[in-house]
Structure 1
Amino acid sequence: MESGWGSTSRTDVEDARRALDDAAVARQRGAARAVSPWWYHVATGLVLFCVFLSFSVGGGVVFFVPPLGAVAVIVLGVLVRRVRGVEVDRTRDLRGGWGPNMCYYGLFLVLTGVGAYLEFGAQWRWSMAVAGALLLVPTIMIGRHNDLAKRRERGARA
């Protein structure tokens, strides 16, 4: 059997096919690890709700709950990185995620503005808490959407 450019042995083809299959399995495992655990987005939504609630409660709570909320989100991110072994909250890397994320950010700004106006301008108590409650489900949904988009981009089945 001659070796040259035009000849390939059966073992070379099988080895190449096996290597491609191994690479596909590794890509799917990596994609599955890059998705946040189920509790991450729920906890992030609850932290956001607690920050909004603190503005309705008033008093000294307003001075320590928002900074604690920021610290809680950072701690959640570190905890997820330790559990999964990868950084999971990277929405800026999503190719098709800008539209839904921009809609969420717009909703966030509108509800924050309306809640703040009603709470502090019109003196309607608990308006900020209601705004936070209305943001709870969209926060969880956009996080889940981003996870599924990351999984699709990295090659695993969503």
Structure 2
Amino acid sequence: MESNGADDARASLDAVAATRAGVAGRIAAPWWYHLVLGLLVAQHVLAQGLENANWTLPSMGLLLAGCLVLTLAYRRLAGLSTAKAQGTRSRNVLTLLGLVALACVASASLTGSAAVSWVAAGVVLLATIVLGRLFEAALRREIAADPDHSF
């Protein structure tokens, strides 16, 4: 007896869609993830605004080591890692977050003002939390809905 090719194809596509939805559902960082990431970036912004430039290298080391630990912890908790944007919306949010972080680091380092550095650190902390959550939401939608990209 011959099976219907269209039915088999539909069943396979449904299985792929269910798998994509399952993966997308697992992309949810714990409540502390974006907060800790924001604090890591904020401390680097503050270090750039200090008069003593000797804090730049230790601050960068703390930022990079912290990001590595966060990535490993997230991978262990979720069982996967999202290393890059998957579509236009998540790419745009991630780009905006990067631009905000660069602007905050630049404003703190170029002005050298403690007040500007504290404001910039607060801005980057809030931006990391808010835009990080928006990035995750966009990423979940893109992975669950877009059958044409790989991840």
TM-score of the superposed pair, with normalisation by structure 2 = 0.73
Deviation at 1:23, TM superposition (A): 4.5
Q: Which residue of 2 aligns with 1:117?
A: 110
Is 1:145 matched up with 2:138?
no
Contact 1:94 1:146 in 2 (8 A): no
C-alpha change, 1:23 and 1:98, in structure 2 (3 Å) is: closer
Q: Which residue of 1 aligns with 2:76?
A: 82
Deviation at 1:112, TM superposition (A): 2.1
Amino acid at match of 2:58: F
TM-score of the superposed pair, with normalisation by structure 1 = 0.71
Larger Rg: 1
**Deviation sequence 1:10-33 (CA, Å, 0-9, x none):** xx96x8877665544333221111
Unpaired runs of 5+ residues, structure 1, are none
Identity of aligned residues (%): 26
The number of equivalent residue pairs is: 143
Is 1:97 matched up with 2:90?
yes
Amino acid at match of 1:151: R
Q: Which stretches of structure 1, 4 residues or more, deviate above 6 A after TM superposition?
A: 15-19
Amino acid at match of 2:44: V
Is 1:154 matched up with 2:143?
yes
**Deviation sequence 1:13-56 (CA, Å, 0-9, x none):** 6x887766554433322111133233211110011112223344
Unpaired runs of 5+ residues, structure 2, are 146-151
